[in-house]
Structure 1
Amino acid sequence: MSVASTRTAAVQTGTIYVILFAISSVHLMNDTMQAVVSALFPVLEKSLHLSYGQMGWIAFTLSMTSSIMQPVVGYFSDRRPAPWMLPAGMGLSLIGMAGISIAPSFLLVILAVVFVGLGSAIFHPEGSRVVYFAAGGRRGLAQSIYQVGGNLGSSLAPLMTIFIFLPLGQTGAIWGTLLAAAAIIILLRVVPWYKERLNLYGKPVKRAAKTAMNENDKRERKVIGYAMFILIMLVFARSWYNSGISTYFVFFLRDTYNLTNQAALVPIFLFSAAGVIGTFFGGMLADRFGRKKVILCSIVGSSPFALLLPHLPLAWVYPLIFVMGLVLFSGFSVTVVYAQELVPGKVGMASGLITGLAFGMGALGAVVIGEAADLWGLTRVMNYTSFLPLFGFLTLLLPADRRDKV
């Protein structure tokens, strides 16, 4: 069975929205648990006397644990899919949430965060395969629905800080265990459907992928490698900039405009909430106008806003950061779909590589920005990071979309 015929068979089933919304809701809970870590930073800064650099290392641990494991899990799950890994990953996250709530030191927080990162690393590649089977012919929209759940979970970090962690402190993280338990319950309903899809389409997809790769000549492999390198550079720019905004911009706002922690978190929430909207509509636009065009417009289009943001009066920060989040995140899910179409049949590995890189690059960015802020001052570093979206012009070097080959 060819790759095209395999995809046609999957498309004929139509888009299964019940499954898409179920797996998106689990994605929301997974990324909300990850957001707990960054949401706790204003609390941990005082309770454990952390520096910017130490907070960067916590973010680095979470993201790198997830990013290193995601493509590894994706590679093996492409060869031998394991639906049981979905609830197992949530179980690890549950342990991590409980650990964070009681950790009395920096090192024990790091250890607990490792469990959360591993749980996320296991969930994402398998979750992307569930989305692939449920997408039918609307892969951009399906991936956006999935990613909207994750982005919505991430956007809750400022609200959690305001309403949970500032009043309750570190122990408020125990509420994250309820999210993990709810996710496990939902996944126990998704797993039987996932097993059925694997029985119908899993083996043909693997055979098709092997055939497709055998038929690629050296030139084709070079094109794929070149395109993946460009995608990595784009993920690097977007993730570093996002890390600077989501992790440190709250401190920039607090110090520059003399805001309270609660007030400084409002623009961060607007940025994240706009990202949820942008992610959803970005997938719809990509199905209509093409993946490459949306990726280009998302990153390059956000660069003027990024350059202006550190220099605006406070009243202008709110609308501008919202519009910037809307534009920047419109290409997030589209990048994943573009990567999947570059390497047909390797859904888990492509998804794990791109989303894993997003976490990993963000983690490295958190450490570098934090250490640089300790050394040179946060204001100067935030000005430097505003140039990162200009890397989006590299999108012009990407090959044309390959939807006809998937």
Structure 2
Amino acid sequence: MTELTEPVPQPSTPSADPTPEPPSARGREPTSGAEPGIWRRMRMWGIAHAVDDLYQGLVPATVPYFVLDRHYSYVAASGLTLAATLGSSIPQPFIGLAVDRMRLGWLAAAGVALAGLGLGLSGLMPSYWAVWCLILLSGLGVAMFHPSAGKAARDSAGDSAAAMSVFAAGGSVGFFLAPVLATPALIAWGVGATALFIPPAALTAFVLLRHRRRQDAAAPGSVRTGADRWRPFAVLTCVEVVRSVAFFGVNTFIELYWIRHLHASRALAGAALTCFLAGGVGGTLLGGRLADRIGMVRTVQLGAALMLPMLAGLLLTPGGGAPLLFALLTGVCLNLPFAVLVKLGQDYLPARPGTAAGVTLGLGVSVGGLISPVLGVIADAHGPRGALASLAVVPPIALALGLLLPEPGREEKPAA
């Protein structure tokens, strides 16, 4: 009897049976077992992105106070916005190329520090050209941050679009917080209050540098390989540019539309802008979750398809609370593909994640600000409502371009 009970330890055979586990269990373990570590790192990168883009959002928030305190003309004021846009958009693809070819992990920390220092000192300079150069340097700091941080965030997020959406949503949070934090300080102390925004940049730079040292000591950075697919990446860049035009258009004219067309108070117009920006944060996070469930390309197409009815609702509802709801929903739909476009760009250029982040987070996002003067001409002729109505051409273009995007995994498998 004892001899019969000894052979029973056959459970060793199922535990040693590796056939069902490796393909699925190993693929899913990082999202469950290592999930707390991943989300902790993504929260750090999301906060850093929020601080960096805070300085990009502070430029339009401070320009009116330069006009009031320094008596700058409207041309001079628009020159400050142009300086920030030039500094933050044009250099980013080239910085991305440098990040992919050299070890420049410290560049994210340096970028945040320069962005905060440039904008913080701008309000203390008496000369217009000194202010212009400092805002240009602040924009350059923003440009330095995105490719390096985008590459590091992708390494931390892995293949999870939801995790990557935390990093992307940080930028939307920064834009949202800029007028909220700047307006009370600028009203109380004038443009010299920009100096109050230097400490967040210094603290964020310190945290990123310390994280970089720990990362280098723990393990070398991961290297992604694969064939770069420039044609779909070019289409994706066009989608991002078109989306950026719509974002800057609504962001610029939504308050004026509320005041001039709906005859609302300035407080209610500010609430409309707040709803639009808050919807952008929620849409960025929701887009990452959707992409993990229905696919990245479908999420991009869904955002483009929903944009037109939301924009129509914003312009056609007569008043009350309905326009505020549509302002929120417009922000959600407009930003639904934001994080997805960042990750999708890095999937199309697996060997150049820094370049992809520089284009999708930098050039593609900021170029809408360069086209906004055209919307200004339309607004001069037909009012803010006419400028917003002209954005109705954007969703069909974005949807048509989205239909040309291939899902990365489906085409790479046969090629492999």
TM-score calculated relative to the size of structure 2: 0.83
CA distance change for structure 1 residues 348 and 182 in 2, over 3 Å: closer, same or farther?
same
The answer to whether 1:364 aligns with 2:378 is no
Contact preservation (8 Å) 1:155, 1:269: yes
CA contact 2:57–2:174 (8 Å) conserved in 1: yes
2:202 is matched with 181
Indicate the RMSD between aligned Cα atoms, in angstroms.
Answer: 2.8
Q: CA distance change for structure 1 residues 233 and 343 in 2, over 3 Å: closer, same or farther? A: same
Checking the alignment, whether the CA contact within 8 Å between 1:257 and 1:314 is kept in structure 2 is yes
Which secondary structure state, in structure 2, belongs to the residue aligned with residue 201 of structure 1? coil
Say whether 1:61 aligns with 2:83. yes
Structure 2 CA distance for aligned equivalents of residues 377 and 54 of structure 1:
23
- Cα deviation for residue 193 of structure 1 reads 3.7
| Alignment correspondent of 2:329 | 323
SS of the residue 2:56 aligns to: helix
Shift of 1:144: 0.3
Contact 1:28 1:150 in 2 (8 A): yes
Structure 1 residue 153, shift from structure 2 partner: 0.9
CA contact (8 A) 1:48 1:105 kept: no
CA contact (8 A) 1:298 1:327 kept: yes
The 1-side partners of 2:232 and 2:172 are apart by: 25
SS in 2 for 1:199: coil
Residue 402 in structure 1 maps to residue 408 in structure 2: yes
Deviates further, 267-276 or 96-105: 96-105
- Structure 1 residues 200 and 258, CA, compared in 2 at 3 Å: closer, same or farther? closer
Distance 1:364 1:166, change over 3 A: same
Aligned to 2:96: 74
Instruction: Tell whether the 8 Å contact from 1:299 to 1:328 is kept in structure 2 after alignment.
Output: yes
Give the SS at the match of 1:400. coil
Contact 2:240 / 2:365 at 8 angstroms: preserved in 1? no
* Cα distance, 1:296 vs structure 2: 0.8
Residue pair 2:237, 2:359 contacting (<8 A) in 1 also: no
2:358 is aligned with what amino acid? Answer: G
Instruction: Tell me by how many angstroms 1:297 deviates.
Output: 0.9
Give 1:260 deviation, angstroms. 4.5
Conserved 8 A contact 1:274-1:323: yes
Distance of 2:236 and 2:255 partners within structure 1? 29
Of the candidates 154, 168, 171, which is equivalent to residue 150 of structure 1?
Answer: 171
2:132 aligned residue: 110
Shift in alpha-carbon separation, 1:137–1:340, aligned structure 2, 3 A: closer
| Map 1:295-306 → 2, pairs under 5 A | 295-306=300-311
Pairwise CA distance, 1:363? 2.0
Residue in structure 1 matched with residue 275 of structure 2 by the alignment:
270
- CA drift at 1:390: 2.7
Counterpart position of 1:282: 287
Shift of residue 292 of structure 1? 0.6
Query: Separation in 1 of the partners of 2:71 and 2:246?
Result: 26
Count residues with an aligned counterpart.
383
Tell me, in whole angstroms, the C-alpha distance in 1 between the residues paired with 2:116 and 2:63: 20
Task: Indicate the residue corresponding to 2:110 in structure 1.
Answer: 88
* Structure-to-structure mapping, 1:242-257, within 5 angstroms: 242-257=247-262
State whether residues 11 and 137 of structure 1, in contact with CA within 8 Å, keep that contact through their aligned partners in structure 2: no
Report the CA distance between 1:85 and its aligned residue: 1.5
Alignment partners' CA distance in 1, 2:75 and 2:303: 30
| CA distance in 2: counterparts of 1:64 and 1:347, whole angstroms | 22
Residues 367 and 51 from structure 1, CA distance in 2 versus in 1: closer, same or farther, beyond 3 angstroms? farther
Deviation, structure 1 residue 320: 0.7
CA change 1:288–1:48 in 2 (3 A) is same
Contact 1:278–1:327 (8 Å) recurs in 2: yes
1:196 shift after superposition: 4.7
Unaligned stretches of 5+ residues in structure 1: 1-6, 214-223
Alpha-carbon contact 1:73-1:122 (below 8 Å) kept: yes
Given the superposition, is the C-alpha separation of residues 393 and 51 from structure 1 closer, same or farther in structure 2, using an over 3 Å criterion?
farther
2:232 and 2:406 in contact (8 A); partners too = no
Is the CA contact (8 Å cut-off) linking 2:109 and 2:205 kept in structure 1?
A: yes
1:20: Cα distance to partner?
Answer: 1.2
Highest relative contact order (Cα 8 Å, sep 6+), 1 or 2? 1
- Structure 2 CA distance for partners of 1:11 and 1:353, relative to 1, 3 Å: farther
Deviation at 1:186, TM superposition (A): 1.6
Other-structure match for 2:244:
239
Checking the alignment, whether the CA contact within 8 Å between 2:154 and 2:343 is kept in structure 1 is no
Give, in whole Å, the separation in 1 of the partners of 2:340 and 2:277.
17
Larger Rg: 2
1:2-151 equivalences in 2 (<5 Å): 14-15=34-35, 16-49=38-71, 55-104=77-126, 107-138=129-160, 140-151=161-172
Gapped regions of structure 2 (runs ≥ 5): 1-25
Q: How far did 1:21 drift? A: 1.0
2 CA distance for matches of 1:323 and 1:189? 39
Q: Summarize the Cα distance change of 1:171–1:262 in structure 2 as closer, same or farther, 3 Å threshold.
A: farther
Q: 1:264, CA displacement in angstroms?
A: 1.9
Selected match of 2:342 from 329, 336, 345: 336
**CA displacement at 1:389 relative to structure 2:** 2.5
Does the Cα contact within 8 Å between 1:52 and 1:374 map onto a contact in 2?
no
Q: Distance in 1 between matches of 2:236 and 2:102?
A: 26
Aligned mates of 1:317, 1:25 — CA distance in 2: 31
Query: Separation in 1 of the partners of 2:34 and 2:97?
Result: 27
2:213 pairs with one of 192, 207, 210 = 192
